[in-house]
Structure 1
Amino acid sequence: MEKIKPELRIFESSEELSSNLADYVLQVAESAVKERGSFSLVLSGGDIPIRLGKLSKEPYVRLVEWSKWHVFWAEENVVPKRHPDSYYWQAMQWFISKVPLLPAHVNPVSPGLSGESAANSYEFAIRQQLKSRTVQVSRSTDCPRFDLILLSLGPGGHVASLYPNHPVLEEESQWVACVSKDESCESVTLTLPVINAATNVTIVASGLDTARPFMDTMVGRKPIRSHPAQMVLPRDGNLVWFADASAASLFLRANEPYATSATDS
């Protein structure tokens, strides 16, 4: 199928972005539950766990059918479960522990394993979710087809743990891979085929430190492997960017006619 053009939503403040992101997550969740009876949400690091804290407050916490939600991770650092750098632990503190999600529906990467073992174990766990039909299967790729994957744009232009010019960007067979950014840090990440098989993908860009990678990703002037966010293009799904004014500052300056319509929408 033809790739769908990304949608760009720009907000005046980070707070406004968070509120609109919560609205969007709720909208996608309601649609998935109505269509299939469940909703699969994939989280990542960055500020995603903090922003999802909005869903633990009124009116969201009252409107959500929490028993229908199933939570996964797009990336995880290979650290103990309660380590400050654990994205699972961050999500627990800011979001999961504050809402009535069913514990059996929370699917973290197994702690206490080596990077490769953790990646293999998590891919096996996802395959089990496909067998139980908690997660759909993409008809075009046989990859899992998550309802919504939330990603955060990093200062280096990366999303999930897909770093610039890393060999994992070429991975086609594995669903989950172990990535070493440097000798001191290993992480587990969903690969691009899985991300691009999702029904909906959202990338959040916030803060001045993402202004340059956001600009470069939007205009596509850099080699694509140097900006992995450019490689997120769902095959037959929706891609929506949520950016605050700081992250979009360079882009808006270079696209003034667009700036007015984007921020007024």
Structure 2
Amino acid sequence: MAPKILRFQTEEAAAAALAKYISDLSAKSIAAHGSFSVVLSGSSLFDTTRKILEPPYISSIDWSKWLIFFLDERVVPLDHPDSNYKLAYDRFLSKVPIPKSNIFPMKENLSAEEAADEYEQRLKQLVTNNTLNKSPITGSAKFDLILSGMGPDGHVASLFCWHFQRFEKQKWMTVVTNSPKPPPLRITFTFPLINSASEVALVVIGDEKADAVKVALGEHASHGYPLPVQKVSPEGNLTWFLDSGATSRL
């Protein structure tokens, strides 16, 4: 299915559209199967999701039915400034009444390999007990929504250019030992798990992302897959939320 590319003049307009998109998808998912499974990433994502914390959404969304997961994580304690969980908690989770039992951070105090394996096994158990849906195509967990940004180099999650982990075909989780951005040790979803999702939203804001957006969406975008973001191809729908800075080279 072709991606939906939404271009906005301002980040403010992109943020408003993103909030409505998330709210509508939450209501649809809860009506369909009683929950809304959301995968969060880190970085600047929570700048552009801020309007979901404002009226009318803050009081109209059924937060008790949300299930929260993490696209990638740095191998640091959960209260460390580099932790994606801490970022999500400080900027989002602490402001909404999602039950703590519905939030699934990656385990701390384990090696990277142990933590990745533990998270994969936990996701598989949640599929087995029907907490998470299952992709009929891949058998992977099928999340209702993955919210992701994109780096200026075109990476998503912690799947960076020229790292072999971007070519993983079987595992749901993998370890990156030499991230080009600190800290170097990361745990991340693989593309088989990302691409089993019902919906993926790529939230790409700012002119520092314009070169990567041009490669991913410009006239030569179909000529191979030089950037990790071009491997995002979910079973369901892919929607890009872009501001004028990010699209300035298209």
Task: Decide: shared fold, TM above 0.5.
Answer: yes
Q: CA deviation at 1:237?
A: 0.4
Alignment check: 8 A CA contact 1:176 1:191 kept = yes
| Aligned residues: CA RMSD | 1.4
Alignment check: 8 A CA contact 1:138 1:145 kept = yes
Query: Structure 1's 13 and 184: CA in aligned 2 closer, same or farther, altered over 3 A?
Result: closer
Q: How many aligned positions are there?
A: 246
The code of the aligned residue for 2:239 comes to: V
Query: Structure 1's 47 and 178: CA in aligned 2 closer, same or farther, altered over 3 A?
Result: same
The code of the aligned residue for 1:154 comes to: G
Distance 1:155 1:18 in 2: 19
Q: Which has the higher helix share?
A: 1
Distance 1:152 1:168 in 2: 18
Give the match for residue 163 of structure 2. 166
Give the fraction of aligned pairs with identical amino acids, expressed as a percent. 36
Alignment check: 8 A CA contact 1:195 1:232 kept = yes
Matches within 5 A, 1:233-248: 233-234=233-234, 236-248=235-247
Gapped regions of structure 2 (runs ≥ 5): none
Q: TM-score, normalised by structure 2?
A: 0.95
Give the match's secondary structure for 2:185: strand
Give the match for residue 136 of structure 1. 133
Give the match for residue 227 of structure 2. 227
Give the match's secondary structure for 2:49: helix
Distance 1:244 1:82 in 2: 32
Give the match for residue 208 of structure 1. 207
The code of the aligned residue for 1:97 comes to: S
- Kindly report structure 1 stretches of 4+ aligned residues shifted beyond 3 Å: none
Alignment check: 8 A CA contact 2:152 2:208 kept = yes
Alignment check: 8 A CA contact 1:216 1:222 kept = no
Of residues 65, 68, 72, the one that matches 2:62 is 65
Alignment check: 8 A CA contact 1:43 1:49 kept = no
Give the match's secondary structure for 1:8: strand
Q: TM-score, normalised by structure 1?
A: 0.89
Deviates more, 1:33-42 or 1:111-120: 111-120
Of residues 41, 44, 50, the one that matches 1:44 is 41
Distance 1:177 1:92 in 2: 23
Question: CA offsets per residue over residues 232-254 of structure 1, 9 Å max, x none?
Answer: 011x3000000010001001xxx
Give the match for residue 192 of structure 2. 193
Of residues 105, 108, 130, the one that matches 2:105 is 108
